[in-house]
Amino acid sequence: MLRGHDDDVWSAAFSPDGSRIVTASWDKTARIWDAASAKEIAVLRGHVAPVSSAAFSPDGSRIVTSSFDKTARIWDAASAKEIAGLYGHEDAVLSAAFSPDGSRIVTASGDKTARIWDAASAKEIAGLYGHEDAVLPPPSAPTGRASSRRHHWTRPPASGMPRAPRRSRSCAAMTST
């Protein structure tokens, strides 16, 4: 049993090599654990509201967390230091995940958007706008692919958030190229 969080744990994920686990908690932290010994390795502190998800990059060198504080954050998995913040959502960020090659991050939010970010620069690349409700985490796909049908892809708006003419309740993650 992994003991250390002070409140409910919302997500848990293995590192790509299976040696570590990252957990996200209502206690506003994410934690890294040794999978063999169940010992805590590090605590990721910086979010000011509950952490909704945490995931390793495909090479295991970084972690992305999402939070009810309307941000996602990128962390160095070895040092547990924050590398960058992903800012722009107007409501809780409910999930975040790396693309299969680790170059992009997708976030899903209660603000009815999903957004694609460059993992190196932390800049928004594109967004999925026009959902009728909160964008919930997509079902996991072993290939890293999910359907993008019925979504309007657009570049980040200069001001305001444009709405797509089509609406969908489903969420789509990016497809790998």
Tell the burial category of 139 from Cβ atoms under 10 Å away from its Cβ (0-12, 13-18, 19+): exposed
Using 50, 70 and 90 to split pLDDT, how confident is the model at 158?
Answer: very low
Residue from 139, 129, 112 nearest 164 by CA: 129
CA 142 to each of CA 15, 110, 135, 160: distance values in angstroms, whole numbers, following the listed order = 15, 25, 20, 35
Greater confidence (103 vs 150) lies with 103
Q: How far apart are CA 28 and CA 44, in angstroms?
A: 9
Helix (H, G, I), strand (E, B), or coil: what is residue 22? strand
Q: pTM of this prediction?
A: 0.76
Task: Give per-residue pLDDT as tens, 38-72.
Answer: 999 999 999 999 999 999 999 999 999 999 999 99
Q: Is the dihedral of CA 145, 151, 155, 158 positive or negative?
A: negative
Q: How far apart are CA 104 and CA 11, in angstroms?
A: 20
Using 50, 70 and 90 to split pLDDT, how confident is the model at 3?
Answer: confident
Enumerate residues 6+ apart whose C-beta is below 8 A from 106. 96, 97, 99, 114, 115, 116, 117, 173, 174
Alpha carbons within 13 A on the beta-carbon side of 44: 38
With the CA atoms of 19, 41, 123 and 127 taken in that order, what torsion angle do they form, in degrees rounded to the nearest 10?
60
Write down the pLDDT at residue 10: 86
Contact (CB, 8 A) for 25 and 5: yes
